[in-house]
Amino acid sequence: MSIKSTTNTLLHNRFGPVFLATLLLCGISLLTRLALLLFSATLVDWSILNLFKIFVIGLFYDLAAASFAVIPIVLYLWLMPAKWYGRKFNRVLLFIYFFIVVFTLIFNAVSEWFFWEEFSVRYNFIAVDYLVYTTEVIGNIRQSYPINSIMVGLVIITAVVIYLLRKKITCSTNHKTSFGQRTKVALVLLCLPVFTYFCISHKLKYLSKNQYVNELSGNGMYDFGFAFWNNQLDYNTFYKTIPIKNAETILSHLLQQDTLAKNGTFKNTSRNISNAGTENKMNVVLISVESLSAEFLGTFGNTQHITPQLDSLAKEGLLFNNLYASGTRTVRGLEALSLCIPPTPGQSIVKRPDNKNLFTLGSIFRAKGYNSRFIYGGYGYFDNMNEFFSNNGYQVTDRSALQDSEIHYSNIWGVADEDLFTLSLRELDKDYKNNKPFFAQIMTVSNHRPYTYPDGRIDIPSHTGREGAVKYTDYAIGRFIREARQKPWFANTLFVIVADHCASSAGKVQLPVDKYHIPMIFYSPGHIAPGTFDKLTAQIDIGPTILGYLNFSYNSKFFGQDVFKMKTSDERAFISTYQSLGYIKNNKLVILDPNKKAATYKPDFKTGSSVAIPADQQLINEAISNYQMASYLYQNGLYGFEAQKK
């Protein structure tokens, strides 16, 4: 049987539209692949094997994408009764469906062309990230391209294609099939995307040493779906790099530790932290406060009087004046506080696959005989918190541990902060009764939209705005400290109060440094004298600084450093979005961006504005070394936790 006759047979079948839609997707994907190949002809490693990879593996991913794309039409053809299938309204629906399919495929091809022109890759996390920043992206597209003319052209091309395919689209409508026969075929077709999801590896396309060959071997729509579910952005593909040995040497110098063995073997960031004298086995309570910008505190100049409790604690404890958050979301704060690692591009490690048994602050405390806890006011499945913390040295407790009678108020994010702290006190009392020192990371939720909390606690009504939520969280923290003072374990406990990130990261510049400025207080009456700490501090330094204060000796992989012991020349901080990676040092800001861009700026730490200045290559190399090594260690399974030597 010839190809033409086989095609006609498939098209005249009841599920002919499925075959036609698949053929259209694969055909347009093939043309897209050819166009991109020719556009990048001088950059592709031309060989018979590579061409085989591009087109055969490419077809494989085209079919994988098609298995998902045809689900709607499969369901329609399966459930549409046979007696209605040959009627006029069904033909109209088929034409509408194929108009949408063809327009979408052509629109996608054009979009892939522009995306490839800018990034030289198929869709990835950057494309997914565009969904978050729609205002900026749509505005940029409108300013960059004649979008109205392009859309009119796409509609005309689509109409022409539909006209040429009109007989192919309707040729299946005369085919009568019983529901039982349709069910058998439909179930097979619906099993294909399930098989694709669970059994097809995205790594199959990475079989060439040439990055362009690998990218051309993929399918843009399939890659977009993969990026959407996995939220990763490969550092080496998109950002400036240096030889890994050079990055290691620079990082070794920055950490003031020779990380190379005498024989020159690679030992990444592993090093021994030795402190003379007896270790101080104090309890530690680390309170991670939702969206607490430094600008909210009266200590930093706010005149609204919405943080009286924190302002009082700041005067009684050690206030860190110059601390900067790693990112703009809670998962970035959780990553910085637990892993003490620079923020890798894309999604936080907290939400990535293969993130078990990593080197965390909780695992260090557990190795020292502590009970390490993560206590959260919401349900811990959100943002993968239960999975991450329970597999990385922490015992997780969330709102499910509370009875309904114990909850004074709750919203979509979790219980009111006062109920969270009541739960925390109960769990810490258990550890004390069991003669276990404890490390507890407590995460608040009330300072978050919709800004609701129990009535009668503060002088700002619930649900009236951010200021009220800040003041309520401040009230709850003050109440928690007062109740903790009555506990027998209070005198031997270090309280660390810090924000996970700022309330807003929006600014006129790419990385407005003022939108990453967060407060931190070390509070432990009888142990820590009131004062301020003014050195530049990164959020990833908090863990090592706590361990240093306790005089712990341990084998470390942390990128963070004990700021109490660092010299002025060692001060630096990391700030980031999903794409832009910032490095602050010497009153300069280096920003690494996709497309392997690196630029140096002079930031204004009060207004957040910044001005481009000549490139500081030394700082750029330091920034690259930190971010490249962080990605390298995680991706290669080198940031794991091993048993600590006693």
Residue 413 in contact with residue 291, Cβ under 8 Å? no
Give the pLDDT confidence of 413-462 residue by residue, as tens digits. Answer: 899 999 999 999 999 999 999 999 999 999 999 998 889 999 999 999 99
Q: CA-CA distances (angstroms) from residue 452 to 242, 377, 470, 642?
A: 49, 14, 11, 43
pLDDT (mean) for 607-632: 96
- Please state which of the ranges 27-41, 244-258, 324-338 shows the lowest mean pLDDT: 244-258
pTM of the model: 0.75
Q: What is the pLDDT of residue 502?
A: 94
Residues 513-572: tens digit of each pLDDT: 999 999 999 999 999 999 999 999 999 999 999 999 999 999 999 999 999 999 999 999
Strands 271-273 and 554-556 come out as: antiparallel
Most confident of 116-125, 264-273, 293-302, 348-357: 293-302
Distance CA 399, CA 380 (A): 8
Please report the pLDDT score of residue 263 as a whole number.
38
Q: Is the peptide bond before 603 cis (omega within 30 degrees of 0)?
A: no
Cα distance between residue 108 and residue 582, in whole Å: 32
Q: List CB contacts of 582: < 8 A, sequence separation 6 or more.
A: 511, 513, 574, 575, 576, 589, 590, 591, 592, 623
**Average model confidence (pLDDT) across the chain:** 90
pLDDT at 230: 64
pLDDT band at 510 (very low <50, low <70, confident <90, very high): confident
Q: Which pLDDT score, from 0 to 100, does residue 572 have?
A: 98
Please provide residue 323's backbone torsions phi and psi, each rounded to the nearest 5 degrees.
-105, 140
Q: Which DSSP symbol is given to 56?
A: I
C-alpha dihedral (302, 307, 308, 313), degrees to nearest 10: -110
Task: Give ∠ CA 68-73-79 in degrees, rounded to 5.
Answer: 125
User: CB within 8 A of 301, min separation 6: which ones?
Assistant: 295
Domain architecture of the chain: domains with CATH? 3-230 (no CATH), 278-564 (3.40.720.10)
591 band by pLDDT with thresholds 50, 70 and 90: very high
Cβ count near 565 (within 10 Å): 12
Contact 557, 639 (CB under 8 A): yes
* Average pLDDT estimate for 232-252: 90
Is 279's pLDDT higher than 90? yes
